[in-house]
Amino acid sequence: MSCNTLINRFAGIGLAAAVTLAGTGAGLAAEVNIGFTGPLSGGAALYGQNTLEGLKMASAEINDSGGITVDGKSYDINLISLDDMYAPSRSAVNGKRLVQQYGAPVVFTPHSGGTFALQAFNERDNFLVMSYTSIPEVTAKGNKLTVKIPPNFTDYVEPFAETTMARFGPKLAIANATHDYAKYWTKAFVPAWKKAGGTVVADTPMDYNKSADFYTGVSKALAADPDVLFIGGASEPTGLVVRQARELGFEGGFVIMDQAKISEVARVAGGMDALEGAVGVAPLTYMDTEGAKSFIKLYGKNHDNVPTAETAYNYFAMYLLARAMETAGTVDDPKAIRAAFPKALKQVDPKHNPFAVTHMTDDGNLAIDVRIAEVTDGKVVITQGSDME
């Protein structure tokens, strides 16, 4: 049976199907289906799995503590995840399936392509998009059923450029990924670099999702003798780009897009020493909030690796969604749930709020303190912070 046939078969199932009985016995909790579409295979698999892990952790905790309570009735979260392999067309198919087959009133996605694909029909099909991407256009376009979880990436552009250029010089080579998110970053970063007095000496983006060897692309970038490499995509391929650049003799700095996380990049690149001079988003482990400390301790109980920001952001976002449902008094009315978010922020326990989010803008941006990090002498140093409005 084709995917379209399957979707059409379930097209008659409305949002009421989002709430199903968890059992037949009296007093057992009902369930609310929450959807996720993201890359769980391919080059960005680790990134997708990190975001999904945050949702899983929060869902398990919420369920174990009694679930979501609406009018005295408890609902457990049933998280349904589908792999879109980082392809927006697959995100759209997954979104249709999650809403029509499973009746999910809310769908999480951790990439801009997936977000825009879902926004093409989410207001019509009446489901809320929880978007983990930092592209401002996600909320600027006025979609009334969207919440954007992380800060705008544009908050990082100028300080990234100024910090790296001051240390290494004005010649920049572009060696980042080819997906839409990287293109948005490039479009914003290049003018900021030039405004600060820099020049672009090479433009060699590479497919981080499909390639496992970047020597050809990196060699082309280094042939232009840059002072700084502008890189980024998922953390693992970004780390490989760094490692191969160092192996080819590059001694300059790196500007790392916020999708890649310094701690994960370093693990692939060969340690923090390989990232000397890199500027990127501050690792979660350098956050000093009550929520960050609590989350890091919680994560360490069942994981051997270092927790990343995308895991913590999505952990918080699931708690925020749960409180919004309770505040709205419904688990299956996306419009009412979305309207309840600003008030629900005040209901989230600080230990479930690693980034100390204080408020949300009218268009759906969560307001978060932006922290910027630079690798100096093999150590991560927090160099700047600014409030996003």
Task: Tally Cβ neighbours within 10 Å of residue 72.
Answer: 5
pLDDT at 358: 86
Domain extents in the chain: 3-152+290-368, 154-285+371-387
pLDDT above 80 for 6: no
Q: Alpha-carbon Rg of the chain, whole angstroms?
A: 21
| Nearest-10 Cα torsion for 385, 346, 134, 233 | 80
185-237: pLDDT as tens digits: 999 999 999 999 999 999 999 999 876 789 999 999 999 999 999 999 988 99
Q: pLDDT at residue 366 above 50? A: yes
Q: Is the pLDDT of residue 4 over 70?
A: no
**Run of H or E including 265:** helix 262-269
Mean pLDDT of 301-322: 94
Give mean pLDDT, residues 142-158: 93
At residue 369, the pLDDT reads: 72
- For domain 3-152+290-368, the CATH superfamily is Response regulator (3.40.50.2300)
Q: What does the block give as tokens for 341?
A: 């978010």
- Please tell me the pTM assigned to this model: 0.81
Contact between residue 98 and residue 107 where contact means Cβ atoms under 8 Å apart:
yes
Q: To which H or E segment does residue 106 belong?
A: strand 106-109
What pLDDT, on a 0 to 100 scale, did the predictor assign at position 28?
62
Task: Please classify residue 212 by burial: count the beta carbons closer than 10 Å to its beta carbon, then call 0-12 exposed, 13-18 middle and 19+ buried.
Answer: exposed
Could you give the angle at which helices 112-119 and 180-195 cross, rounded to 10 degrees? 120
pLDDT value at 26 more than 90 = no
Which pLDDT score is estimated for 384? 53
102: helix, strand or coil:
coil
Q: What is the pLDDT of residue 14?
A: 47
Instruction: Please report the pLDDT score of residue 264 as a whole number.
Output: 87
pLDDT for 19: 52
pLDDT at 22 over 50: no
Fold agreement (3-152+290-368, 154-285+371-387): yes
CATH fold for domain 154-285+371-387: Rossmann fold (3.40.50)
Residue 74: how many other CB atoms lie within 10 Å: 15
- Pairing label, strands 366-367, 253-256: unpaired
State pLDDT tens for residues 82-141: 999 999 999 999 999 999 999 999 999 999 999 999 999 999 999 999 999 989 999 998
pLDDT of residue 183: 93
d(CA 251, CA 231): 15
Which among 100, 389, 307, 99 is positioned nearest to 108, based on CA atoms? 99
